[in-house]
């Protein structure tokens, strides 16, 4: 028995490793295709040359080499990795709370008309408030720090996930429901095995939107309060007129966003095998 | 035994110019279907066959009348008075009348249903699809796989267990729907134009498969179709529907012995009579519309 278990665990680990390999390979190939490198390398070259030749002022547009030096500095001397880690912690807490609240609420509202009538108007009233408008009141409620930042990220990611989930569940094809109902499916079985799966593609799409909104709110939240994080470093760099440092922060944010979207695409592909070839 | 008493179904709709309107999809249809028979509901599209079948299956409530399966009412009819309406609203405030329950899977009647566009779940593999219906019917986990395998083998899908429906041909998808329906060992199968979307050769094979399984199990089959040949080949009785509003126009018992030949003179003669009915319908309609 035991032997089989370890064997299973080991092969699962190997499988996970292989999948991870596929993921990085796929993600990298999406960007670093030969075609795109033919565009990227000249662009980088131009960016390097123009400031160096004095066409644009070097103080305003630092060439990539300066940015690289600044990045090296930040990672080695100023512990930028910790800032990234702090930002990611807030981001995933905010996004995680948004995902685990918005998806169930969305599913329930899409499933049952009675729930929809009671809950949907509230969200429809609150959702149009632009997320940054929540900043002042959040600071008063939570003070400055992790809870406030987490809440702001949550607010950014919550509504896109909620509304898309709700809409997708509501639009579940009646024939699938009918064919499960005839066999005696309870409402719980319908939710778990029909509504959810039918909506899954749209739900993952909405989490992508949530990631984008969450990153926006991350930067805003860190600009307004806190002593760590990428957004904080960004504002600090502005105060000292360190443009290279700002570029490093921006590129870092871009890479994080890209990476998360790629990860979601990968999950989508894994979860929705059945959609391939449809 | 299925007993439909005076079924009427009315749909209210809103016209383009926002005036209220309605369609009588089915008008006082009464029909009794004996156990173990194959009965076809035949008619051009739009004459309420699907609606009637869904009412038989409890997927829609009739506006008037009720359906009894072995004496038990399938769905309570919609309320007609204001007081009844209030009561109905209160009763079904949280769950629709179609719901089987909130948590526990529990079929209301021993029915399975097959739809024209398959309606097998695209997110489950062939095997998972069948196992899922077995789960809904309360078959213990351990027995699900062997039972599912038995029926999948019977219907010739044993090689495609781990494929998703999107990887199957139309005919195979319909086989899956058939396996899924048969695996729960229902006493009645309702089929809505099950073979309409596959090519002619596949259709004939599927029809023969269906007959073979019917001989083995002796279930009752109610088959909606607009294909006269299919109805003649398969059924013990043909119920011809006419449109506007959907109603029974004629009933034909077919005594022709089984196994049948598709070109049996008796069937051909009957086909003549049925097609002449439709011809009359078309002429009749054009008389009015011109
Ligand atoms: N949900 C609905 N709302 C409004 N009209 C409907 C609805 N379902 C069916 N109908 C109408 O009822 C009539 C009968 O439809 P149907 O039962 O699908 O016919 P058939 O299956 O014989 O082709 C059609 O005119 C159709 O437009
Ligand atoms: Mg139809």
pLDDT tens-digit readout, B261-282: 988 889 999 999 988 887 765 5
Q: What is the pLDDT of residues B38-48, one digit of tens each?
A: 999 999 888 99
Q: pLDDT at position A34, please?
A: 85
Token pair for A68: 């690289």
CB count, 10 Å around CB of A46? Answer: 11
The answer to whether A181 contacts B105, with C-beta atoms less than 8 Å apart, is: no
Helix (H, G, I), strand (E, B) or coil at B220: strand
For domain A63-275, give the CATH superfamily: MetI-like (1.10.3720.10)
**Which of A114, A181, A273 faces B100 most closely, judged by CB atoms?**
A181
Say if residue B288's pLDDT is above 60.
Answer: no
Q: pLDDT at position B78, please?
A: 81
Q: pLDDT at position B105, please?
A: 87
Tell me how far apart the alpha carbons of residues B247 and B43 are, in angstroms, rounded to a whole number.
10
Strand partners, B248: B241
Q: Determine the distance separating the centroid of ligand 1 and the alpha carbon of B10, expressed in angstroms.
A: 10
The answer to whether B107 contacts A183, with C-beta atoms less than 8 Å apart, is: yes
Tally C-beta pairs within 8 A across A and B.
92
Q: Give the mean pLDDT of chain B.
A: 89
Q: How far away is chain A from the Cα of B212, in angstroms, using its nearest Cα? A: 23
Residue with CA closest to ligand 1 atom 8: B51
Q: pLDDT at position B220, please?
A: 96
Q: How far away is chain B from the Cα of A263, in angstroms, using its nearest Cα? A: 21
Q: What is the pLDDT of residues A98-155, one digit of tens each?
A: 999 999 999 999 999 889 999 999 999 999 999 999 999 999 999 988 999 999 999 9
Q: What is the pLDDT of residues B54-102, one digit of tens each?
A: 999 999 999 999 999 998 898 887 888 899 889 988 888 888 888 888 8
DSSP state of B71: T
Say if residue A73's pLDDT is above 80.
Answer: yes
Q: Which residues contact A66 (CB under 8 A, 6 or more apart)?
A: A58, A244
Q: Determine the distance separating the centroid of ligand 1 and the alpha carbon of A64, expressed in angstroms.
A: 66
Sign for the CA dihedral angle at A68, A72, A73, A78 comes to positive
The predicted model gives A61-75 an average pLDDT of: 92
Say if residue A4's pLDDT is above 80.
Answer: no
- At residue B49's C-alpha, the angle toward residues B47 and B54, to 5°, is 140
**Which residues in chain B touch residue A273, judged by CB atoms under 8 angstroms apart?**
164
**H/E stretch holding A188:** helix A187-190
- By C-alpha distance, the chain B residue nearest A174 is B119
The answer to whether B123 contacts A178, with C-beta atoms less than 8 Å apart, is: no
Share of chain A above pLDDT 90, in %: 68
Say if residue B29's pLDDT is above 80.
Answer: yes
Say if residue B236's pLDDT is above 80.
Answer: yes
- By C-alpha distance, the chain B residue nearest A173 is B119
Quickly state the pLDDT bin for A278 (edges 50, 70, 90): very low
**Which residues in chain B touch residue A276, judged by CB atoms under 8 angstroms apart?**
166
The answer to whether A182 contacts B59, with C-beta atoms less than 8 Å apart, is: yes
What are the boundaries of each domain within chain A? Answer: 2-32, 63-275
Q: How far away is chain B from the Cα of A9, in angstroms, using its nearest Cα? A: 23
Q: pLDDT at position B15, please?
A: 85
Share of chain B above pLDDT 90, in %: 57
Helix (H, G, I), strand (E, B) or coil at A150: helix
- By C-alpha distance, the chain B residue nearest A184 is B107
Q: What is the pLDDT of residues B118-141, one digit of tens each?
A: 789 999 999 999 999 999 999 999
Q: pLDDT at position B285, please?
A: 53
Q: How far away is chain B from the Cα of A14, in angstroms, using its nearest Cα? A: 23
Q: Give the mean pLDDT of chain A.
A: 90
Q: pLDDT at position A218, please?
A: 95
Interface test with A, best of B90, B92, B100, B181 (most A CBs within 10 A): B100
Pick from B28, B33, B41, B38: which is nearest to B2 by CA? B33
**Which residues in chain A touch residue B174, judged by CB atoms under 8 angstroms apart?**
none
**CA distances in angstroms from A183 to A101, B98, B100, B173, B191, listed in the order given:** 31, 12, 9, 18, 14
Quickly state the pLDDT bin for A225 (edges 50, 70, 90): confident
Say if residue B290's pLDDT is above 70.
Answer: no
Say if residue A195's pLDDT is above 80.
Answer: yes
**Which residues in chain A touch residue B138, judged by CB atoms under 8 angstroms apart?**
184
Pick from B118, B116, B122: which is nearest to B165 by CA? B122
Tell me how far apart the alpha carbons of residues B85 and B87 are, in angstroms, rounded to a whole number.
5
**H/E stretch holding B241:** strand B237-242
Cis bond leading into B219, ω under 30°? no
Of A259 and A4, more confident: A259
The predicted model gives B103-119 an average pLDDT of: 86
The predicted model gives B16-24 an average pLDDT of: 87
- ipTM of this complex: 0.89
The answer to whether B121 contacts A112, with C-beta atoms less than 8 Å apart, is: no
**Which of A181, A187, A274 faces B166 most closely, judged by CB atoms?**
A274
Answer whether B60's CB lies under 8 Å from B97's CB.
Answer: no
Pick from B185, B186, B190: which is nearest to B4 by CA? B190
The predicted model gives B201-210 an average pLDDT of: 92
**Which of A176, A182, A188 faces B103 most closely, judged by CB atoms?**
A188
Best residue for ligand 1 mutational test, from B21, B22, B48, B49 (most atoms within 8 Å of Cβ): B48
Q: Which residues contact A15 (CB under 8 A, 6 or more apart)?
A: none
- At residue B233's C-alpha, the angle toward residues B227 and B239, to 5°, is 60
Q: pLDDT at position B287, please?
A: 45
Quickly state the pLDDT bin for A3 (edges 50, 70, 90): very low
Q: pLDDT at position A110, please?
A: 95
Q: pLDDT at position B40, please?
A: 96
State the alpha helices, DSSP H only, in chain B.
49-56, 82-91, 126-136, 141-154, 170-183, 200-217, 228-234, 265-289
Of B230 and A22, more confident: B230
Q: Determine the distance separating the centroid of ligand 2 and the alpha carbon of A76, expressed in angstroms.
A: 70
The predicted model gives A199-212 an average pLDDT of: 93
Interface test with A, best of B61, B123, B186 (most A CBs within 10 A): B123
Q: Which ligand is in closest contact with the Cα of B244?
A: 1
Interface test with A, best of B51, B97, B115, B136 (most A CBs within 10 A): B136
DSSP state of B22: E
Pick from B240, B244, B198, B196: which is nearest to B22 by CA? B244
Question: How is the beta sheet containing B20-33 ordered, strand by strand?
Answer: B20-33, B2-14, B64-69, B72-73
Helix (H, G, I), strand (E, B) or coil at B172: helix
Q: Which residues surround ligand 2, an ion (CB under 5 A)?
A: B 50
Residue with CA closest to ligand 1 atom 26: B46
Quickly state the pLDDT bin for B286 (edges 50, 70, 90): very low
The predicted model gives A262-271 an average pLDDT of: 86
Whole-structure pTM value: 0.88
Quickly state the pLDDT bin for A84 (edges 50, 70, 90): very high
Q: pLDDT at position B282, please?
A: 57
Share of chain B above pLDDT 70, in %: 96
Does residue A270 belong to the interface with chain B, where contact is any CB pair within 8 Å? no
Pick from B46, B35, B125, B107: which is nearest to B71 by CA? B35
């Amino acid at each position: 028995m035991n032997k089989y278990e370890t064997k299973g665990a080991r092969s699962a680990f190997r499988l996970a490793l292989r999948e991870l390999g596929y993921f990085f390979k796929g993600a990298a190939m999406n960007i670093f295709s030969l075609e795109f490198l033919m565009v990227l390398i000249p662009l980088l070259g131009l960016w390097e040359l123009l400031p160096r030749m004095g066409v644009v002022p070097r103080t305003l547009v630092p060439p990539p080499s300066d940015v690289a030096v600044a990045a090296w500095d930040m990672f080695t001397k100023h512990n930028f990795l910790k800032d990234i880690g702090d930002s990611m912690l807030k981001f995933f807490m905010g996004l995680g709370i948004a995902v685990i609240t918005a998806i169930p609420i969305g599913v329930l509202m899409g499933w049952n008309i009675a729930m929809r009538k009671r809950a949907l108007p509230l969200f429809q009233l609150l959702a149009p408030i632009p997320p940054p408008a929540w900043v002042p009141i959040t600071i008063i409620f939570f003070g400055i720090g992790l809870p406030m930042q987490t809440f702001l990220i949550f607010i950014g990611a919550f509504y896109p996930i909620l509304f898309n989930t709700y809409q997708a569940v509501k639009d579940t094809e009646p024939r699938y429901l009918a064919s499960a109902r005839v066999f005696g499916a309870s409402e719980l079985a319908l939710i778990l095995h029909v509504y959810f799966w039918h909506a899954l593609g749209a739900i993952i799409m909405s989490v992508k939107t949530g990631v984008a909104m969450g990153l926006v709110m991350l930067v805003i939240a860190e600009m307004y309060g806190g002593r760590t994080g990428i957004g904080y470093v960004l504002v600090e760099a502005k105060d000292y007129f360190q443009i290279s440092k700002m570029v490093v922060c921006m590129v870092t944010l871009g890479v994080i966003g890209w990476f998360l979207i790629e990860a979601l695409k990968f999950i989508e592909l894994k979860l929705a095998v059945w959609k391939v070839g449809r | 035994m299925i007993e439909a008493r005076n079924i009427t179904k009315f749909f209210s709709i809103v016209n383009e110019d926002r005036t209220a309107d309605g369609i009588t999809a089915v008008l006082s249809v009464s029909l009794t279907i004996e156990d173990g028979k194959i009965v076809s509901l035949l008619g051009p599209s739009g004459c309420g066959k699907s609606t009637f079948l869904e009412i038989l299956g409890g997927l829609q409530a009739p506006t008037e009348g009720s359906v009894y399966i072995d004496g038990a009412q399938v769905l309570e009819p919609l309320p007609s008075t204001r007081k009844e309406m209030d009561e109905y609203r209160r009763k079904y405030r949280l769950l629709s009348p179609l719901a089987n329950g909130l948590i526990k899977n529990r079929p209301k009647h021993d029915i399975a249903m097959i739809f024209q566009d398959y309606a097998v779940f695209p997110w489950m593999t062939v095997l998972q699809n069948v196992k899922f219906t077995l789960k809904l019917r309360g078959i213990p986990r351990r027995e699900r796989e062997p039972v599912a395998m038995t029926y999948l083998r019977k219907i010739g899908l044993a090689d495609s267990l781990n494929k998703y429906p999107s990887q199957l041909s139309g005919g195979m998808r319909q086989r899956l729907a058939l396996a899924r329906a048969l695996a729960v060992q229902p006493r009645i199968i309702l089929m809505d134009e099950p073979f309409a979307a596959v090519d002619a050769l596949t259709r004939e094979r599927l029809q023969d498969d269906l007959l073979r399984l019917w001989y083995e199990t002796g279930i009752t089959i109610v088959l909606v179709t607009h294909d006269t040949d299919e109805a003649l080949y398969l059924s013990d009785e043909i119920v011809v529907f006419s449109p506007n509003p959907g109603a029974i126009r004629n009933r034909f018992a077919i005594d022709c012995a089984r196994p049948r030949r598709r070109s049996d003179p008796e069937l051909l003669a009957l086909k003549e009579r049925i097609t002449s009915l439709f011809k009359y319908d078309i002429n009749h309609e054009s008389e009015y519309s011109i």
